Amino acid sequence: MSDRSSRDLIIPLVSFNNTEFVRGLYDEFTDADRDCVVLPKNDYVKGEAERVFPAEAVLETAENHTPSTELDELLSKYGVRSSRNFVFPDMAYDYDYVSPNYTFYLPNNEIPYDEYVDRLHRWLDKLDSLYSEKGYIPVQNQGGEIFRQCLNRVAMHHGLPVVCRGFSPKAGMCSLHGDDTLSWNAFDDVSYDELSSGQRKEAEAFVEEITGEREQIGSSSKSLLDQIAQKVQAIRNYRGDLLGPTVGWLRRSAVGDLKAKYFAREYLDERESRKVIEEENFVYFPIQYFRESRVTYRANAYYNQLWLIEYVARSLPHGYKLVVKDHPRRIGELPLPFPRKISRVATAIDHTLNSREIIENAGAVVTLNNTVGFESLMFGKPVVAFGRGFYADSEYVHDVDDIDDVEGDLYAAVNSEGLSDEEVLEVASAIVEGSYPGVWGDSSPRNVAQFANSVSEFLDGEPEA
């Protein structure tokens, strides 16, 4: 049986791109007298892992595993209430789930649940067998892949802590959590009156850093050439059949470019958009990329944001309109009918406008759980959130607990005064205090050492399950 006092770590290896970073973590942890193993996502990734890590450190995948326990028994044991909803994020990542409200990308209307539920069965059984012999503490990035979810479920069932890396808007830092809800405990104890002068100054500097930035938090300025270079590197490392992945990426890129141009023409241009945000009373809804884990895993009820936009638009207080902006780097990713369908119920503005300018003019901001919600709090704006974001534990967010009461949540937000300067500093201080040095994926020695030290610090302070 697993030992709750185990110091042994297990790090999932999701793709080739993370190999160098995970190898750095492996070296840091083993140098600190912790046994460490790597769990590859599939056999292709395992081939790369075997080239980089000691053979004894690389575990077998579940690809060819034959389960010895019935799926129903495993689902019950590990608290999986819906196998389909559990595998949904992986299906969305793999483009095997229909695009929201649209089925153009699939050759037929059937959704291949069975393939993914079988994968769930193999991983649960594989990890169930592994943990019956020896316990490991998972250290992993946030994400909804089947094998990562299974790893957390199995480890926690056996009484072992887990370390889940989450996002922090603090540059060069991350959040660390003892489960995959990614709740920020730092919000529980923060109070402006109890902040020291040093904490207040640090919070003030952080607010200034956020509100003064020109680029959206968490944004990436990767050009097409950067993306191609990244793909070339992945291809060099790849050991499987390249034709399918390569053709798929090229097809999506070519079609996406054409769709992006069409979408841009359907939205208001920059002049018309500025006129709206400067002269109208509005609530702002930034569209999120529907295949990212913040949607597929942490707000999957709202995978189809079109129906939510329609519902929010007709639930607004009198005199307000809904302003919608497409994701600035994902324009063209949504199904082709979306721009015109959105324009029937809301005002779709130029996707190139900076969100900060929109936030400052908005009566309130509605979001699933993206970083725009946090930026809005830093500007003192009322925020209505449907999903769990890293700022959701702040008492100043209007969380939608009942979908039937969205009208009331929107009314309360629009008619509130937003956050006071002191309340903004409370939120900022919680983020500063709850952030750990180091980020996931940066393989520079300094960052790897910082992240490994943060994990060790987190585990030293983690209460028993």
Instruction: Write the CATH number for 285.
Output: 3.40.50.2000
Grouping H, G, I as helix, E, B as strand and the rest as coil, residue 456 is helix
Confirm whether 300 is domain-assigned.
yes
pLDDT per residue over 21-67, tens digit each?
999 999 999 999 999 999 999 999 999 999 999 999 999 999 999 99
Residue 273 sits in the same domain as residue 303: yes
Number of domain units in the chain: 3
Do residues 342 and 285 both lie within one domain? Answer: yes
Instruction: Encode pLDDT of 70-83 as tens digits.
Output: 999 999 999 999 99
Spatial CB neighbours of 100, under 8 Å, sequence gap ≥ 6: 290, 303, 304, 305, 306, 334, 335
Residues 245 and 370 in one domain: no
Q: Which residues contact 425 (CB under 8 A, 6 or more apart)?
A: 192, 195, 200, 203, 204, 207
pLDDT at 226: 44
Same domain, 239 and 339: no
Is residue 35 one of the residues assigned to a domain? yes
**In a shared domain, residues 279 and 226:** no
Q: What is the DSSP string of 228-265?
A: HHHHHHHHHH--S--HHHHHHHHHHHHHHHHHHHHHHH
Query: Is 454 contained in some domain?
Result: no
Q: What is the pLDDT of residue 418?
A: 94
Whole-number pLDDT of residue 239: 46
Same domain membership, residue 240 and residue 99: no
CATH code at position 74: 3.40.50
Residue 103 lies in a domain: yes
Do 240 and 317 reside in the same domain of the chain? no
126 in a structural domain: yes
Give the pTM.
0.87
- With a cut of 70, which residues of the chain have pLDDT below it? 1-6, 101-109, 213-256, 462-465
Q: Are residues 125 and 247 in the same domain?
A: no
pLDDT at 335: 79
Amino acid at the residue 451 = F
Q: Is residue 459 part of a domain?
A: no
Q: What is the pLDDT of residues 97-121, one digit of tens each?
A: 877 765 444 455 678 999 999 999 9
15 and 157 together in one domain = yes
120 and 56 within one domain:
yes
Predicted local confidence at residue 103, as pLDDT: 46
243 and 273 both lie in a single domain: no
Q: Which residues touch 51 (CB under 8 Å, ≥6 apart)? A: none
Is residue 455 situated within a structural domain? no
**Residue 352: inside a domain:** yes
Buried b (16+ CB within 10 A) or exposed e, 238-252: beeeeeeeeeeeeee
Same domain, 129 and 153: yes
Angle subtended at Cα 270 by Cα 266 and Cα 273, rounded to the nearest 5 degrees: 80
Domain residues for the domain of 329 are 209-216+267-432
**Interval 383-431: pLDDT, tens:** 999 998 899 888 899 999 999 999 999 999 999 999 999 999 999 999 9
**CA 287 to chain CA mean position, Å:** 14
